[in-house]
Amino acid sequence: MSVPLLDLSRQYAYLKPDLDKAVINVLTHGKFILGPEVKELEEIVAKLCNTKYAWGVASGTDALLLALRAAGVKAGDEVITTDFSFFATAGIIVRFGAEPVLVDIEPDSYNIDPNLIEAAITDKTKVIIPVHLFGQIADMDPIMEIAKKHNLKVVEDAAQSIGSTYKNKTAGSMGDFGCFSFFPSKNLGAGGDGGIVCCNDDDDGEMVRMLRNHGAKPKYYHKIVGYNSRLATMQAAVLLVKYPHLQKWSEKRIDHAKIYNDAFASIDAIKTPVVKEYTTFHIYNQYTIAVANRDEVLAKLKADNIGCEVYYPVPFHSQECFKELGYNDSDLPHSTKAANEVMSLPIYPEMTPEEQTIVIDAVKKAI
């Protein structure tokens, strides 16, 4: 029997009446761009994240784009981030003609190591982007302390961590900006692309709001040149139907993680996810294990029709497009090792106990 890495059709099966109604309602009222559902979603996310503002944008990537622009990043600046994340985190920095400065990760959490950040700061540094990878928030207290000391802005890449908490503080609420993605595979996924930017500062909030709509204020009057990066009303309508389930879905993922942890506890060859002492709610956007002979194990699982994937096989410093940054594997040993050893297993909320047993047995056999 095969087990998929993710199966969104199971969600649709029980949300169908509500989702169909919500989408038809948008088709009926016809306010397709920045309609009432967008405003409602923004209010809900601002409340969840405990921020003054939340502005819906076209994607998680654009959320980072608008936040970095509002933070004042320009050509020639440097932006510090992790070496180990989804490509958008580093790619977006280059869009400004700025340079990504890559910092190694903690080997246990896979998040940026705060102890290495200060050494990476120069007089060109403008922003730090911590990524809350796999659903666990990076160690934000020391990061915010360093940022304050050096007068840097912090943009949280919380694309994988909506609703997760650090010392009971929500992802996206601690930095100057919190950026989220509603890509369908995230814990709260739309029926297409979408994202949102959270912030507390009035000027920052106004800037993001203007930037997503060509920099206009009022309509047709442009003090700055912005983007077309609005969240589609249709996507907001889908997200409003799904949002009430988010907490329960994330708790289901935690339940699955516990079952995996118990099953793999006695197997030394498998490194299960480490939950840091400051993590008060890990939302397990991914359940990521590390094994030394990863590619072999992965191939065996794929042969058994087990959905599994490597997030991420290539650290930023090894990407062809970043070769000119001039890093070696030995500069970033932990992210290099992680890229060679990690693999993620199915953990979606609707996975059945039978399916999880199949995955566990297959992993054990492959190891």
Ligand X SMILES: *Cc1c(COP(=O)(O)O)cnc(C)c1O
Fill in the amino acid letter for 229: S
The verdict on 110 binding ligand X (CB under 6 A) reads no
With b for 16 or more beta-carbon neighbours within 10 A and e for fewer, the 163-188 pattern comes to bbbbeebbbbbbbbbbbbbbbbebbb
Least separation, in Å, of the C-beta of 322 and ligand X?
16
157, 204, 341, 355: which one binds ligand X (CB under 6 A): 157
Q: How far apart are CA 235 and CA 32, in angstroms?
A: 10
Q: How far apart are CA 64 and CA 90, in angstroms?
A: 10
Report the candidate in 154, 8, 141, 132 with the shortest Cα–Cα distance to residue 67.
154
Q: Is there a contact between 260 and 356 (Cβ–Cβ < 8 Å)?
A: yes
The verdict on 193 binding ligand X (CB under 6 A) reads yes
Nearer to ligand X, 159 or 234 (CB): 159
Least separation, in Å, of the C-beta of 94 and ligand X?
14
DSSP β-bridge partners for residue 79 = 100, 127
Q: How far apart are CA 151 and CA 323, in angstroms?
A: 29
**With CB under 6 A as the contact rule, which of the stretches 82-90, 134-142, 265-273, 299-307 interacts with ligand X?**
82-90
Structure tokens at 355: 């399916």
The verdict on 195 binding ligand X (CB under 6 A) reads yes
The verdict on 139 binding ligand X (CB under 6 A) reads no
Least separation, in Å, of the C-beta of 265 and ligand X?
28
The verdict on 111 binding ligand X (CB under 6 A) reads no
The verdict on 86 binding ligand X (CB under 6 A) reads yes
The verdict on 181 binding ligand X (CB under 6 A) reads yes
The verdict on 250 binding ligand X (CB under 6 A) reads no
**Residues from 258 through 277 that contact ligand X (CB under 6 A):** none
**With CB under 6 A as the contact rule, which of the stretches 30-38, 56-64, 258-266, 326-334 interacts with ligand X?**
56-64
Q: Is there a contact between 132 and 138 (Cβ–Cβ < 8 Å)?
A: yes
Nearer to ligand X, 264 or 312 (CB): 312
Nearer to ligand X, 94 or 267 (CB): 94
Nearer to ligand X, 86 or 281 (CB): 86
- Cβ atoms within 10 A of the Cβ of 272, count? 17
Q: How far apart are CA 325 and CA 94, in angstroms?
A: 11
60, 163, 175, 273: which one binds ligand X (CB under 6 A): 60
Structure tokens at 101: 């400065």
Q: How far apart are CA 8 and CA 20, in angstroms?
A: 15
Q: How far apart are CA 332 and CA 336, in angstroms?
A: 6
- Cβ atoms within 10 A of the Cβ of 79, count? 26
User: Residue 326 contacts by C-beta under 8 Å, 6 or more apart in sequence?
Assistant: none
Fill in the amino acid letter for 144: M
Least separation, in Å, of the C-beta of 181 and ligand X?
3
11, 51, 81, 89: which one binds ligand X (CB under 6 A): 89
**With CB under 6 A as the contact rule, which of the stretches 85-93, 223-231, 264-272, 326-334 interacts with ligand X?**
85-93
Nearer to ligand X, 105 or 131 (CB): 131
61, 81, 125, 286: which one binds ligand X (CB under 6 A): 61
Structure tokens at 297: 């194990």
Nearer to ligand X, 264 or 284 (CB): 284
Least separation, in Å, of the C-beta of 88 and ligand X?
4
Given the rule CB under 6 A, which residues bind ligand X? 59-61, 85-86, 88-89, 131, 157, 159-160, 181, 183, 193, 195
